[in-house]
Chains A and B, each alone.
Chain A
Amino acid sequence: MVKQALRWALVIAVLLFLYAPILTLVVFSFNSGKYMGNWTGFSLRWYVELFNDAVIMRSLWITLSVALIAAVVSTILGTLAAAGIHAMKNRHANLVENITYIPMLSPDIVTGISLMLLFVFAGIKLGYGTMLLAHVTFNLPYVIFSVLPKLRALPQHQYEAAIDLGATPGFALRKVVLPQIMPGILTGLIFAFTLSIDDFVISYFTSQDVSNLSMTIYSMARRGLSPKLNALSSIMFLTVLTLLIVINVRSARQGKKETV
């Protein structure tokens, strides 16, 4: 009992820490005034203004589509890469891994400017496509380093055993390896989406004529961040939360049915 209480205490403490600013955002989205920290009364003004703001709505769409596509592409590419690296000789694997660290390690501005130089030099017009390419690039290391530990933790020779028992390599991979590394793949996917949705500097340098939400928000800072953005965050947060709970409740029910 005590143990369980301690567990909950830890979880609740961490969630409080993580949600303190989010709650602030939500509260101030209902503020009638423009500035955080200066409560002037309850109002839905910013929600109304949000839906009339074409710029924010367009950047939201670009952010979500880029984040989704980049996350899926980098997850597939990164998972295959991890499988390949896992099978490589130590020396080769080390080299590839070290190079893979680079996008994680290089400051955003360096990644952003060097990719921009590359695109311009190659004659590729900056836009949605180049932003997407950049996002996949900085997502890849996170996917690879999420999947690779899972692969390394697999019992050795399991894959070979499956082959010996007559499975084709593809079948062995799909039926033996994939289910076991799935949590790693999902982690990679979540990381990729998270990084993508929040990126400013790299997107700023690798795109033109399109702006994602971060670019719109950063460029607004000079004139003061509008509470419209708080309203947007609140809606996004509530949507995600509802989705999560629905999925969770459904899978819990299914789980129960199966056990019955």
Chain B
Amino acid sequence: MKRSAYAYPYLLWMALFIVVPLAIVLFYALTDTVDGRLIFTLENFSAAFDPAYVKVFLRSLWMAALATVICLAIGYPLALVLSSRHFKAGKLLLMLVVIPMWMNFLLRTYAWINLLSDNGIIMKALQFFGVENLSLLYNQTAVIVGLVYNFLPFMVLPIYTSLIKIEPNLYEAAGDLGANSFMSFLKVTLPLSVPGIVSGITMTFMPAITSFAVSRLMGGGLVTMYGELIENQFYFMRDWHFGATLSIVMMVLVLISAVLTRNNKNKEGGMLW
């Protein structure tokens, strides 16, 4: 038996539950209902590139990227600490990073709104220190905080996983060869954790672009993200055709960029950048 055969059950699943639904979405994107009749058209696609929508797309891309970078900046050192041999409680603490996500999203977000609101504890504390005229909610920053909060575990876990089983001998060898701890981090730890970083970025960035509830609740409806725009097409505009188009456009653009970065990576011999 070929080893690639292990993927056969998944390939079947993928064909049924990813490819077929994708075909359905594509069908909606390529059609429109005019006077109750279905017609094939590319008009949805030209409408999707309306400057107003492109602006929302770019903004979402930027916000998702920023949230991803912040997650990485917090998540990588955290994963490093938790996976270090000097840190006995690492496993327990790692689980503690995940558990908050088991509490319902809406409840979590309501709690955040309560904390960050004008009369919330955090504002009261800031006012005590003389900080006035600041709003922690209903702006882009609040949305970014919300995104970082919800996706941080998705960054920490894959990186932790890639760090946990690095051979201690490698560090000793690096030390024997005269590397200081910074050099051994740069030459041993970092390259070996690249697969974890890549998977963490994927799992944070991709869903962050399409998240809609965070922006709606923490952004107070003032910061529209692409996911919300798509959702509105389905719910309020009741235009499934255009909603499908917007989501296809987004998927294609993001997948192209994913493929491009992967090709670069292959050329440069497994490095991320």
Q: Determine whether the beta carbon of B106 is less than 8 Å from that of A7.
A: no
- Minimal Cβ-Cβ distance residue in A for B90: A11
Q: B1 to chain A: which residues have CB within 8 Å?
A: 169
Are A133 and B17 CB-contacts (below 8 A) given A11-B78, A114-B24? Answer: yes
Q: Are A107 and B157 in contact (CB under 8 A)?
A: no
Q: For the complex, what is the distance from the CA of A152 to the CA of B254, rounded to whole Å?
A: 24
The answer to whether B202 touches A80, judged by C-beta atoms less than 8 angstroms apart, is no
Query: Which B residues touch A110, using CB under 8 A?
Result: 25, 230, 234, 243-244, 247
Whole-angstrom distance between the alpha carbons of A148 and B158 in the complex?
A: 11
B107 within 8 A of partner (CB)? yes
| B61: interface (CB < 8 Å) | no
* Interface pick from B31-39, B81-89, B171-179: B81-89
B138 located at the interface, meaning its Cβ lies under 8 Å from any Cβ of chain A in the complex: no
B217-241 contacts to A (CB < 8 Å)? 227, 230-231, 234-235, 240
In this assembly, does B164 line the interface, its C-beta being within 8 Å of a C-beta of chain A? yes
B93, B117, B195, B247: the one within 8 Å of A107 (CB): B247
Q: Using Cβ atoms and an 8 Å threshold, which residues of chain B touch A111?
A: 21
**SS class, residues of chain A in contact with chain B:** helix
Q: Does A214 contact B106, Cβ atoms closer than 8 Å?
A: yes
A102 to B100, CA, bound (A): 26
CB-based contact B106/A146 at 8 Å: no
Q: What residues of chain B have their CB less than 8 Å away from a CB belonging to chain A?
A: 1-11, 13-14, 17-22, 24-25, 74, 77-78, 81-82, 84, 86-89, 91-93, 95-112, 114-115, 117, 119-120, 149, 152-154, 157-158, 160-162, 164-165, 192, 195-196, 198-199, 202-203, 206-207, 209-210, 212, 227, 230-231, 234-235, 240, 243-244, 247, 250-251, 254-255, 258-259, 262
A-B contacts besides A11-B78, A214-B105, 12 pairs, CB < 8 Å:
A7-B87, A15-B93, A18-B100, A21-B108, A37-B117, A81-B7, A84-B3, A118-B24, A190-B157, A194-B102, A237-B99, A252-B88
Partner of B92, one of A28, A96, A245: A245
Question: A105 to chain B: closest CB distance in Å?
Answer: 5
Of B10, B115, B199, the contact of A146 (CB 8 Å cutoff): B199
- Cα distance A152–B97 when bound, in Å? 26
Evaluate whether A194 and B251 lie within 8 angstroms (CB atoms) in the complex, with A7-B81, A101-B202, A118-B20 already known. no
| Cβ B152 vs Cβ A18 within 8 A | yes
* Option from B7, B109, B164, B198 in Cβ contact (under 8 Å) with A85: B7
A4–B207 Cα distance when bound, in Å, is 34
Interface centre among B106, B109, B160, B234 (most CB of A within 10 A): B106
B interface: dominant SS: helix
Q: Are B10 and A78 in contact (CB under 8 A)?
A: yes
Smallest CB gap from B2: residue in A? A87
Q: Are A145 and B199 in contact (CB under 8 A)?
A: yes
CB of A14 within 8 A of CB of B97, answer yes
Q: Once bound together, how far apart are the Cα atoms of A146 and B200, in whole Å? A: 9
- A48 beta carbon closer than 8 Å to chain B: no
| A167 contacts the other chain (CB 8 A) | no
Residues of chain A lying within 8 A (CB to CB) of residue B119: 37
Residues in A neighbouring B101, C-beta threshold 8 A: 194, 198
- List the 6 closest A-B pairs by CB distance, nearest first: A84-B7, A149-B195, A81-B10, A21-B111, A114-B21, A87-B3
User: Within the assembled complex, what's the spacing in Å between the Cα atoms of A115 and B209?
Assistant: 21
* 6 chain-A/chain-B pairs, Cβ below 8 angstroms: A21-B112, A86-B3, A107-B231, A145-B203, A198-B102, A221-B106
B203 touches A142 (CB 8 A): yes
Which residues of B sit under 8 angstroms from A17, Cβ to Cβ? 149
Cβ-closest chain B residue relative to A205: B234
Q: Is the CB of B78 within 8 A of A96?
A: no
| Contact between chains at B84 and A102 (CB < 8 Å) | no
CA A94 to CA B162, docked complex, whole Å: 21
Min CB distance A143 to B, Å, is 10
Given A101-B202, A104-B206, check contact A197 B251 (CB 8 Å).
no
B102 CB contact (under 8 Å) in A82, A85, A102, A236: A236
Knowing A22-B108, A245-B92 touch, does A81 contact B81 (C-beta < 8 A)? no
Closest to A249 in B: B92
Residues of A within 8 A of B98 (CB): 190, 194
Cβ-defined contact, A191 with B154, below 8 A: yes
Shortest CB-to-CB span from A139 to chain B, Å, is: 11
| Cβ contact within 8 Å between A248 and B91 | yes
Report whether A198 and B105 are in contact in the complex, using a CB–CB cutoff of 8 Å. yes
Q: Is the CB of A233 within 8 A of B7?
A: no
B21–A14 CB distance below 8 A: no
Contact of A153 among B11, B84, B195, B247 (CB under 8 A): B195
Partner of B86, one of A4, A96, A118, A245: A4
Contacts A25-B107, A115-B17 given: A101-B258 contact, CB under 8 Å? yes
Measured CB to CB, the nearest residue on chain A to B86 is A4
Name, among B21, B100, B234, the residue most crowded by chain A CB atoms within 10 Å (CB to CB): B21
